[in-house]
Structure 1
Amino acid sequence: MSKPNLTIVNADLEIDGVSRAFVNLATEFDARGYGVELVLTRATGDLLAAVPDSVRIVELERAGVPGPEMVSYAPSLTRHLRTVQPDAVLAAQAHTNPLTAVATRVAGIDARTVVCIQTMTSHQLAQRDRHHRTWTRLTRHCYRLADTVIAVSEEVKRDAAASLGIPTDSISVVHQPTVTPSLLEQSREPIDHPWFGDGSPPVVLGVGRLDPQKNFRSLITALERVRETEDARLVILGEGEMRPTLERHVDRLGLEDVVSMPGTIPNPYPYMRQASVFALPSRTEAVPLALIEALACECPVVSTRCSSGPVEVLENGTYGELVPVDEPSALAKAIVSTLQAPPPKSLLRERSREFSVTTIADEYEHVLFPEQRHRQAAKTA
């Protein structure tokens, strides 16, 4: 008997945590023999190259209808689902979740619909300004159309339940499928950067969008204090609107010779493998995938105790130091402490295994295809 078909709906495949995680999941389900397709509102992004040839890419057509941008893709997605008749449909973004839940219901197909909440819903709804109440009612209704709602962390689950009026016990927690064999293999590739090599001063690494939420200004300030006792350098991988502001801050502190911001790097994992410390200075994070990836690459980590992911990932400091948000002195102290006494690499590997794509795909398989899992269990009984 052939395995079921899975449709994953996403906006695009630009390099970000959500897209990377669901390319990982699509690849794993494809390897397990499921029929997998990625349905995108825009078939763009560097992660397209990471999708196996056997996973179909579908780009939706945009209709000229009034309302939010995502609404304009509803007719195309509805037609596609009605034609393809998948056994399960999965979405994982704040704007594609309502679209997918509605389109699947309107298509009238017998598909299990699963939506995954990746970020703090309260933050998303707060950004809707004067349309807040209308959007909240619409979003709440759309989530109730789904068969299953997943959250990527316990805090995201509690926040979603409170914001949307959904019973907490109706939301399951499944972490992001982050650690893959490909990640570990890529982490051993060479680095084209002069600061990495035997005998070089220690490098503190930051990875993420250059935006206010990621708070790299605080990390740059912390480096100045780290250098009072350690000859450390800072590399920040990522791009964004805060680059000019951050560059000016580097210049003001006189750190231009010890701070490097080379932009977005398609393969950041060798940097994680060879850095002395990975630092996450964010103001908020649902589940910080880069933090998990650093653990998998055996890089010691420090993080802010922001809402909400780092505390869960690091188990309240068991796997890396946690410091208050927007306190560069505390961040600097944690970096120095970690440089001087890094944790065992085996401890970091142990934690990262909880986020392996194999482990997480098993959990998704149970949610998406419960009958398939029951049949497998019966065969092995």
Structure 2
Amino acid sequence: MSKIAILTRGVSGGGVQKMSVNLANQLVSEGWKVDLLSPVKGNDSEVDPRVNIILMPSSSNIVARWYCLKAAPDLLKELFLPVIIPIFFPKSLSYVKYIANYMNRHKPVAFISATTYFNIAALLAKRIARKDIKILISERTNLSGTIDSIKNKFFLRWRFVTKLVFRIYQESDSIVAVSDGVAYDLALRTGLDLKKIRTINNPVIPNTERKNGSEKKRAHGRAFKDNHTNYPHFVIVGRLVTVKRIDLAIKAFDLFLRKTGNGKLTILGDGPRRKRLERMVRELKLEQKVIFTGWHHKPLEVLKCADVCLLTSQREGSPNILVEAMHYGCQVVATNCPNGPSEILKNGKLGKLVDGYEPELISQAMLDIVNNPIDLRLLEKRSLDYTAVKSTREYLDSLGF
């Protein structure tokens, strides 16, 4: 069968990387040849051995800028502010030269990329390669949130990238968003035609995970409490960064303990805010109740033993952890942030959506879900809308295969 290339940030770590690996694994299981192009090596234990991982070398900033101009001299005006002159050159575009050479040498029938600057890199590379390759680009998070974040307000390239996105994204064969909210925001922010953006759910649940933890919990007759305690176990999974607002979850958990007397909170992940969050836990005297595990290679093993998954983010695209939690029989409490939680939870029918960022509101939602858990069968059924099989079929359909 023909070859498909997938451009990704890496083969392990965040949600974008994991979804790229799940897509690659499903494609090879269906007989496709797959090259996974990555700028870093990473832990490839979850990658199917049949997937060919290619480590991409980067070009210097000067060479990369030259190749961007070479690819699109007609887009000089759109390239100038977000690409050519910024001191902090977008790292993703330093791979344009290599990607173009790859396209010429390996001649894949399709090329799939994710995240804004990697999407731009793929489309610029195709211009240089001048090959008949179908390009599918995908946005995985709220573009407005990324551009307007405090961090990116000081980066010239993000403030002016939308005009470039509008022009060059139209050269792709398919534009995919991971949720309707992400699609709407992309169209609103850039001027792209919403009708030309297709929503495809992330390939969250691979075939190997179809047998899930909710069955085990139901079999034990303990749909809410594990086998060793008589109090709920909450879990948070994600990078410990500002946008995830883990501080709100910790404060809400403290209020929950004051109301109920007992509980446990496990925080899986690492990041720049970890020390500050650990200090908060000490100040609230929650050291015996809150556990920081750091980065966890297999967070699903923790989900299988947990009761409630918390998500207190300010923005998301389509938070995979909520789907995984539902698949493994965890109840969900999430802030109603743009854009994914409300879509996954069917506007609050399958979990608690909190309108606001006050710890008291989140704490009350935690208490409500403990007292009135949702039928695990409904949660599992919803999670099956996010299988790798279903998502891969839609990706192939978008490419015309």
Normalising by structure 2, we get a TM-score of 0.86
Deviation at 1:71, TM superposition (A): 2.6
Deviation at 1:70, TM superposition (A): 2.5
**One-letter amino acid matched to 2:169:** Y
1:245-267 CA distances to partner (integer Å, 9 max, x unpaired)?
10111111111110001111111
Q: What are the within-5 Å matches in structure 2 for residues 165-180 of structure 1? A: 165-180=191-206
Deviation at 1:185, TM superposition (A): 5.7
Aligned length: 361
Q: Which segment drifts farther, 321-330 or 285-294?
A: 321-330
**One-letter amino acid matched to 1:85:** K
Q: Which residue of 2 aligns with 1:71?
A: 93
Q: Which residue of 1 aligns with 2:53?
A: 57
Q: Which residue of 1 aligns with 2:343?
A: 312
Aligned: 1:147 with 2:173: yes
Q: Which segment drifts farther, 66-75 or 109-118?
A: 66-75
Q: Which residue of 1 aligns with 2:111?
A: 89
**One-letter amino acid matched to 1:8:** I
1:224 to 254, 275, 279: 254
Q: What are the within-5 Å matches in structure 2 for residues 292-311 of structure 1? A: 292-311=323-342
Aligned: 1:241 with 2:272: yes
Distance in 2 of aligned mates of 1:19 and 1:187: 24
Distance in 1 of aligned mates of 2:247 and 2:321: 18
Distance in 1 of aligned mates of 2:144 and 2:198: 18
SS of the aligned residue for 2:205 comes to: coil
SS of the aligned residue for 1:74 comes to: helix
- Calculate percent identity across the aligned residue pairs: 27
Q: Which residue of 2 aligns with 1:160?
A: 186
**One-letter amino acid matched to 1:181:** N
Deviation at 1:156, TM superposition (A): 0.5
Distance in 2 of aligned mates of 1:198 and 1:340: 19
Structure 2: give runs of 5+ residues left out of the alignment.
Answer: 66-88, 215-224
Q: Which residue of 1 aligns with 2:42?
A: 45
Distance in 1 of aligned mates of 2:338 and 2:60: 38
Contact conserved, 1:282 with 1:325, CA < 8 A, in 2? Answer: no
Q: Which residue of 2 aligns with 1:277?
A: 308
Distance in 1 of aligned mates of 2:258 and 2:210: 34
Q: Which residue of 2 aligns with 1:9?
A: 7
Deviation at 1:200, TM superposition (A): 5.1
SS of the aligned residue for 1:228 comes to: helix
Provide the alpha-carbon RMSD of the alignment.
1.9
1:74-98 CA distances to partner (integer Å, 9 max, x unpaired)?
1111011111111000001222110
Deviation at 1:362, TM superposition (A): 1.2
SS of the aligned residue for 1:50 comes to: coil
Distance in 2 of aligned mates of 1:118 and 1:204: 26
Aligned: 1:321 with 2:319: no
Distance in 2 of aligned mates of 1:139 and 1:262: 39
Distance in 2 of aligned mates of 1:45 and 1:197: 35
Contact conserved, 2:334 with 2:341, CA < 8 A, in 1? Answer: yes
Aligned: 1:330 with 2:361: yes
SS of the aligned residue for 1:205 comes to: strand
Q: Which residue of 2 aligns with 1:124?
A: 146
Q: What are the within-5 Å matches in structure 2 for residues 172-191 of structure 1? A: 172-184=198-210
1:138 to 164, 175, 186: 164
Contact conserved, 2:11 with 2:47, CA < 8 A, in 1? Answer: no
SS of the aligned residue for 2:259 comes to: coil
Deviation at 1:140, TM superposition (A): 2.4
Q: Which residue of 1 aligns with 2:239?
A: 209
Distance in 1 of aligned mates of 2:145 and 2:369: 32
**One-letter amino acid matched to 1:73:** Y
Distance in 1 of aligned mates of 2:268 and 2:210: 18
Q: Which segment drifts farther, 3-12 or 137-146?
A: 137-146
SS of the aligned residue for 1:301 comes to: strand
Structure 1 residue ranges (4+ consecutive) displaced by more than 4 angstroms after TM superposition: 184-188
Distance in 2 of aligned mates of 1:10 and 1:143: 18
**One-letter amino acid matched to 1:153:** S
Normalising by structure 1, we get a TM-score of 0.90
Distance in 2 of aligned mates of 1:219 and 1:124: 22
Contact conserved, 2:179 with 2:317, CA < 8 A, in 1? Answer: yes
Contact conserved, 1:283 with 1:325, CA < 8 A, in 2? Answer: no
Change (3 A) 1:105 1:137: same
1:108 to 130, 134, 137: 130
Contact conserved, 1:208 with 1:237, CA < 8 A, in 2? Answer: yes
**One-letter amino acid matched to 2:42:** G
Q: Which residue of 2 aligns with 1:30?
A: 28
Change (3 A) 1:186 1:354: closer
Distance in 1 of aligned mates of 2:27 and 2:304: 27
Deviation at 1:187, TM superposition (A): 5.8
**One-letter amino acid matched to 1:113:** I
Structure 1: give runs of 5+ residues left out of the alignment.
Answer: 189-194, 373-381
Distance in 2 of aligned mates of 1:88 and 1:234: 44
